Structure 1
Amino acid sequence: MIHLFFISYDFSGAETYAHQLIPYLRSKNGLAVYEVHFSSDYPEFAVENVGECAASGLGWKFYFPKIASKYLIDRGYADVFIAPPVLILWEWLKNCIGDTVIFHSNSEDFVNVLNKARGLVDFRTVSTIHFLPKHYSWKELDNYTETLTETKNDNYIRQLELSDKIICVTEFAAASIKKNDAVSADRVSVIYNGYSSDNSPKKVSRGKYGLSDNDIVLLFVGRITPEKGICGLLTAFRDISAEFSQVRLLLVGDGDVKLVDAFLAGCEGSLVYMGRQSKEVVAELYDLADIGIIPSKYEQCSYVALEMMSRRLAVIATNTPGLRELFVDEHSGLLMDISRGYDANELLDIFIDVDMLKKQIVRLICDSTLRSYIGRNGYQRWQEMFTAERMAEQTYNLYKSLIVP
């Protein structure tokens, strides 16, 4: 029997990763799954029996209050705040002695809990690396050799040290940590993120969102931040909206709204900022949109990309390390160039090619056959490489490789 304690991270793609992975793991015989949430909205510790585990008929979720998470992250608080949750988990851990126990960390933030728990029971550690230090992408561009100014997070380094197996969600991430962090190849596995849902196209009334059937709808889903390339996208769209009156750009996500406000005056009626939306609304927007745009400066195995591919959207994405592994240019996606340079404050940054972005958008606006071709091939690539079932099976096999004789 394998007892899996999955330390969840309820943020961004890491949260989606857990939601996609865990239901499939619960269906595996010989695997008991315990979800651990250290940043829940519960005012105090709580336990939930979800009753979905094939191995034991029981599936457990542990919730620790969000207020405690900041103390778990900061190494300076040590035992005073780390010990209580570990001792609570011990009530379940002590029943696992004699079996294989695995802690799967979905974030570096709670590495101190792993360190403390090692003193109570023998277990193996698996970590999934969702986010890399930014300068790893800089180094990949143009044989970057300049002095690095970004320091690595202590918890990131400690997570790599404590892990028996490290899951990287792209080949680029695996190569980066082996080269830059001196992690041995036998500890590193590449398992691409997986996404599955009801992917049959649905007819959504565009009128529900103030759109007409003649509109060409562009869709951005993600945080409204410079790192997501929002400024380059809005710069390109300002010119496109002046040329094509039937084109609409929907922005879905929270973040720095001031970045959007600067462009609204020049794109009245064609640029729609929708803020954060429910998963149900986002799914409808995928179904009614014509073109998905992912202009990120830094990205690994983007869940937005997988969701768009699964809904047969024609996607334009940056040629950044990570995203380039998801799409085959001119076949399952259209890629745009990025480059390294200095911003107005003379700080290193990555820039997207705005002219090339405009060119790719115009190509898809004017060619419905190309849109269908890209969307169809993206969907097929998602089916072959990026389903949740595939991800879960590979992850389960990794767990089995750690079984204690």
Structure 2
Amino acid sequence: MKIGIYAPVLEHDKLTGIGRYVYEILKRLPAIFPENEFIIISHRRIKHNPFDKLKNVKVKIIAEHRKIMHKIPSALWFRYFSSKIINNFDIDYVWCTTPITPLFLKENIKKVVNVYDFNLYIVPHTMQLKTKIGYKLFFKKAINEADKIIVISKGTADKLESFFNKKADVIIRPAVDTSIFKKIQTKPYDFKYILSVSTIEPRKNIKSLINAFISLKKEGNLKNIKLVLVGSSGWKNKEVIKMIKEYKNDIVYTGYVSDEKLAQLYSNAEVFVFPSIYEGFGIPVLEAKSCGCCVITTNIPELREACGEGCIYINPDKDNIKKALKDFFDKRVKCRYHNNHIIKWDTEVKKLEEIFL
């Protein structure tokens, strides 16, 4: 069997969120399907090859070499022009790890589509304009044209059925690499801190967290405790960046860090706060738990699925974040984790046997 894989996240400089999810799944594919051939379909040069360090893997990378095609967005290229390349190979499946399907494929090629979230329908005001336009153009078409659909959580599966009256074929949840995300004793700082990890963008709701933190500080709480923010700068973030600079004595902004550094930060935080308005799953809460860090996060089904029992769930406005932090540091609430809530990559990836028959 030949599986074509369109994964534009592999072309990005850094792997975050969906990029990491796709990469971790792909690098485990050969162990599940040792006889299969994998063909990575690329618009531009890929920067992260999941098969690079694996031996005896049948893999090809087919890239768009027509220079004029590099001038158009990847989504448009894949939708309207990639079939000219794909049809030259005897492919059984095209796996669209981004929810866009190509037109003009040979009839025998089946389309598998990943669906991560329903931002367009739930929180459209938090999307960048170009992203929103792309989803309006291609998202519904991808779902309707898919032969099989993969989702990342039961919450996402439920919304797929609610919005499109379609059932997901399989749920493959994100997991964590426990060889990296484990308790690290070495402290990154000589002060106590609250940690939050996310791209700084509207949906992640970092502004509410900062407002809650500063309000507590002004009331004389959280003495000798700082707020550490980790993640790329994102978009529509000028106000948050301004607040970080204004309160630079109390807020540390690291930007993007390595997984090893991230594990150290999780392990030694007093508490991890993830106040996102909406998520399709929520990898950071899983990473934090894996490192033994208490989690305060948003009370939605997708994050409950990611975090399980023992986390502190809230409505993520300033007042509720503030109350949760005060209650936590006043020892009125605490996390009670259970070891049975462990999601393993190998277990999740094996579910692909239900897709690629």
Report TM bin, short chain: 0.7 to 0.9
The sequence identity of aligned pairs, in percent, is: 16
Give the equivalent residue in structure 1 for 2:277.
297
Paired residue total? 337
Structure 2: distance between partners of 1:59 and 1:297: 39
Deviation at 1:85, TM superposition (A): 3.7
Give the equivalent residue in structure 1 for 2:346.
389
Secondary structure of 1:179 counterpart: helix
Matches within 5 A, 1:317-328: 317-328=297-308
Aligned pair 1:311/2:294, yes or no?
A: no
Go from structure 1 to structure 2 and tell me whether the alpha carbon gap of 1:26 and 1:19 turns closer, same or farther (over 3 Å shift). Answer: same
- State the Cα deviation string for residues 110-161 of structure 1 (Å, max 9, x = none): x23xx23x22x622221110131443469xxxxxxxxxx9996221112112
Give the equivalent residue in structure 1 for 2:325.
361
Secondary structure of 2:355 counterpart: helix
Q: 1:271 aligns with which of 251, 272, 278?
A: 251
Name the larger-Rg structure.
1
Go from structure 1 to structure 2 and tell me whether the alpha carbon gap of 1:227 and 1:69 turns closer, same or farther (over 3 Å shift). Answer: farther
Deviation at 1:37, TM superposition (A): 3.5
Aligned pair 1:241/2:214, yes or no?
A: no
Give the equivalent residue in structure 1 for 2:22.
18
Aligned pair 1:5/2:4, yes or no?
A: yes
Aligned pair 1:255/2:241, yes or no?
A: no
Matches within 5 A, 1:275-290: 275-290=255-270
Secondary structure of 2:27 counterpart: helix
Deviation at 1:322, TM superposition (A): 1.6
Go from structure 1 to structure 2 and tell me whether the alpha carbon gap of 1:203 and 1:84 turns closer, same or farther (over 3 Å shift). Answer: same
Give the aligned residue type for 1:52.
L
Give the equivalent residue in structure 2 for 1:108.
99
Aligned pair 1:127/2:105, yes or no?
A: no
Go from structure 1 to structure 2 and tell me whether the alpha carbon gap of 1:76 and 1:275 turns closer, same or farther (over 3 Å shift). Answer: closer
Could you list the runs of 5+ residues in structure 2 that have no partner in the other structure? 10-14, 125-131
Go from structure 1 to structure 2 and tell me whether the alpha carbon gap of 1:200 and 1:180 turns closer, same or farther (over 3 Å shift). Answer: closer
Structure 2: distance between partners of 1:4 and 1:74: 21
Q: Contact between 2:192 and 2:226, CA under 8 Å: does it hold in 1?
A: yes
Deviation at 1:273, TM superposition (A): 1.3
Go from structure 1 to structure 2 and tell me whether the alpha carbon gap of 1:152 and 1:71 turns closer, same or farther (over 3 Å shift). Answer: closer
Deviation at 1:181, TM superposition (A): 1.6
Structure 2: distance between partners of 1:61 and 1:275: 32
Give the aligned residue type for 2:2.
H
Q: 1:201 aligns with which of 177, 180, 183?
A: 183
Deviation at 1:71, TM superposition (A): 4.0
Matches within 5 A, 1:21-40: 21-28=25-32, 29-40=34-45
Structure 2: distance between partners of 1:20 and 1:296: 23
- State the Cα deviation string for residues 265-307 of structure 1 (Å, max 9, x = none): 6634221111222333223222222211111112011222222
Structure 2: distance between partners of 1:297 and 1:200: 27
Give the equivalent residue in structure 1 for 2:127.
none
Give the equivalent residue in structure 2 for 1:190.
171
Q: Contact between 2:75 and 2:134, CA under 8 Å: does it hold in 1?
A: no
Give the aligned residue type for 1:391.
E
Structure 2: distance between partners of 1:75 and 1:68: 8
Secondary structure of 2:58 counterpart: coil
Structure 2: distance between partners of 1:246 and 1:361: 14
Deviation at 1:58, TM superposition (A): 2.9
Deviation at 1:76, TM superposition (A): 11
Go from structure 1 to structure 2 and tell me whether the alpha carbon gap of 1:57 and 1:272 turns closer, same or farther (over 3 Å shift). Answer: closer
Secondary structure of 2:199 counterpart: coil
- State the Cα deviation string for residues 84-131 of structure 1 (Å, max 9, x = none): 5436xx2xx23x6xxxx222111024x23xx23x22x62222111013
Give the aligned residue type for 1:390.
T
Give the aligned residue type for 1:233.
L
Secondary structure of 2:252 counterpart: strand
Structure 1: distance between partners of 2:141 and 2:27: 29
Give the equivalent residue in structure 2 for 1:341.
none
Deviation at 1:236, TM superposition (A): 0.4
